[in-house]
Amino acid sequence: MSFANCSSPSEEVLTVCRDLGIENWSVEKLITFKDLLITAAGVGQNASPPSSASPSISSSFMATPQRSPFSTTSSLPESPLDTMRELRELQQRVEIVEKRQSEPSTRKKHKPTRVRARNEDSEGDGNQAQPQGKTVHVGKLMRRELGGGEVHTCGYLIVRISHCSPLGRNSPVPQKKMREQLESMFGYDTDDEHCPMPSKTGPHLPPPPNPDDLRVEPNFKKPKSDPENLEILMTAAELVYKREQANPKCAVAEQYRKDWIHPDTLLDLGKAAWENLKDVWKDQERARDDGGAAKKKKESIGRRVQRRNTARALSMCWGRRLTFEQRMTQLEGALERLAEEHDLDQDDVKRAFAIDDWIGEDWSGDSDGEKSQKWRDMMFRAKKITNDEHLDPFLKVNERRRPEWMDKTYWETINKMADDFMKAPRPTRGKGKGKAGPSSMIKRVDCGRTIDLMPEDPPYRFMVDAEWQETEAASWKDWEVREGYPEGVPERVCLMLVGGDSGGM
């Protein structure tokens, strides 16, 4: 029911509401609109209370709120035209907000990431009383909680001096000084590759040549919250603190030193350095037990990743293996033929299935990017290459690798469609008669191996492997699937791609 039928507003109020087109609004909607109008009114420095000569509103729900002249809310505009204009603008904003709330929310696309279980054996600091002060755990402070000068200070403490600092990029910072102080107290020499990282459980270092030098032994078998280890950290923090306070070239502004350069902050930095030193000790213990095999494996993995990234970058430019653009072109050509066979729109079909993250990868070598004997043996045992190809160190074969989440039948179907498209003769574009023969392409084999390439665009449920969805999907954060079928592609065509059924899903 409109407010005009359930109350007794004045004629002036009715006239204003009629001009605004809100004379048929309900009481509840008008009350909400009035409150929103009052809230949205600008703040006036010299606002005065409403004049008693202004039109009064007889109904209770339109009564002017009682406000102090010293409150932060300004009076309404005096001009009726200004009032009407602001009311219309406010009404438009209300409609925009209501429309936005009714629409489904959208969020930025991002690929799923594997959910890693929390390490139950991690060492904590539960027994340590946390230092007092606002700079505890300075590495966890949010940028919005810091001022302009504090942002530079935080970067100086946690990372390194900015390149625009007058002291230069490689100037020593407290974090580095804490690590160097701990190494000095342990007697560990980073320049000597034969110098071990000492520990109470071994190995041990000889006493220092100078008896006055401070020398301690950490216990890396225990957490850093252990009383002995904590005492070492506090001693190092106090020594660095005294030197920093007396340092005339300290990069931290003087007004920030009191809050940022003190033992509590340096203790947090020392804890981070402690973990790095502990990793050095762990690595040397593993090297002693396995003869350095773990270290060599770790270095090999690092080199492998770099070679793989380099190989992929080169192959995208001028490499001999099938590039991503060529492969996408093959798939799009096969999808165009599929659309013609089923009388579908080609753009709809390509838009539905020609997705970057849904086509897998072609590998021209092993994980190191090399055509190793082990890689060729694997393909020969799978009966994918001949004996002559097996013995060829320059083998030109690409190994197809399916995304682990993709249905096997769907994977085989789209690859067969792409191969058939490349083998089929196509009309020539130049002079002459006849048709061109099939395009020459590098041999591609599928040994059943997969990659953990997660899609940024969620796939449709019918193309997802049912077993993987049941057993592995939960281990990937933000994993999503789309129900139904792509727009413009009927269900029968989609099911045909997975062998006539939905893969049991």
Q: What is the pLDDT of residues 269-286, one digit of tens each?
A: 788 888 888 888 888 888
Nearest to 455 by CA among 482, 487, 479: 479
In-domain check, residue 389: no
Q: What is the pLDDT of residues 442-474, one digit of tens each?
A: 788 888 888 887 888 899 999 999 999 999 888
Are residues 236 and 329 located together in one domain of the fold? no
Q: Which whole number is the average pLDDT over 154-181?
A: 53
Are residues 283 and 158 located together in one domain of the fold? yes
Looking at residue 7, its pLDDT comes to 55
Which is more confidently placed, 297 or 464?
A: 464
When pLDDT is cut at 50, 70 and 90, the band that residue 56 belongs to is very low
Range of lowest pLDDT (139-143, 198-202, 267-271, 405-409): 139-143
pTM for the whole structure: 0.41
Are residues 287 and 144 located together in one domain of the fold? yes
Q: Which whole number is the average pLDDT over 362-380?
A: 80
Residue ranges making up the domain that contains 40: 3-102
In-domain check, residue 502: no
pLDDT at residue 138 above 80? no
In-domain check, residue 85: yes
Helix then strand count (H, E) for the chain reads 17, 7
Are residues 97 and 143 located together in one domain of the fold? no
In-domain check, residue 308: no
Are residues 343 and 474 located together in one domain of the fold? yes
pLDDT at residue 343 above 60? yes
Looking at residue 429, its pLDDT comes to 55
Q: Which of 272, 291, 310 is the last residue of a domain?
A: 291
Range of lowest pLDDT (166-170, 177-181, 284-288, 380-384): 166-170
Looking at residue 259, its pLDDT comes to 63
Angle at 47 between CA 42 and CA 49, to 5 degrees: 115
The tally of domains found in the chain comes to: 3
Mean pLDDT across the chain: 71
In-domain check, residue 185: yes
* Distance in angstroms (rounded) separating the CA atoms of residues 79 and 85: 10
In-domain check, residue 337: yes
In-domain check, residue 111: no
pLDDT at residue 398 above 60? yes
Are residues 36 and 146 located together in one domain of the fold? no
When pLDDT is cut at 50, 70 and 90, the band that residue 382 belongs to is confident
pLDDT at residue 68 above 50? no
* Distance in angstroms (rounded) separating the CA atoms of residues 128 and 131: 9
Are residues 471 and 329 located together in one domain of the fold? yes
Q: Which whole number is the average pLDDT over 293-317?
A: 60
Nearest to 153 by CA among 251, 283, 43, 49: 251
Q: What is the greatest pairwise CA distance in the chain? A: 104
Phi-psi region of 336 (alpha: psi -120 to 50; beta: other; left: phi over 0): alpha
In-domain check, residue 373: no
Looking at residue 149, its pLDDT comes to 53
Phi, then psi, of 114 in degrees rounded to 5 = -70, 135
Looking at residue 166, its pLDDT comes to 33
Secondary structure (3-state) at 482: strand
Are residues 337 and 274 located together in one domain of the fold? no
* Distance in angstroms (rounded) separating the CA atoms of residues 1 and 307: 74
State whether the Cα torsion 140-144-150-152 is positive or negative: positive
**Single-letter residue type at 62:** M
Which is more confidently placed, 40 or 24?
A: 24
Are residues 284 and 348 located together in one domain of the fold? no
Looking at residue 409, its pLDDT comes to 93
Q: Which 3-state string (H, E, C) describes 246-257? A: CCCCCCCCHHHH
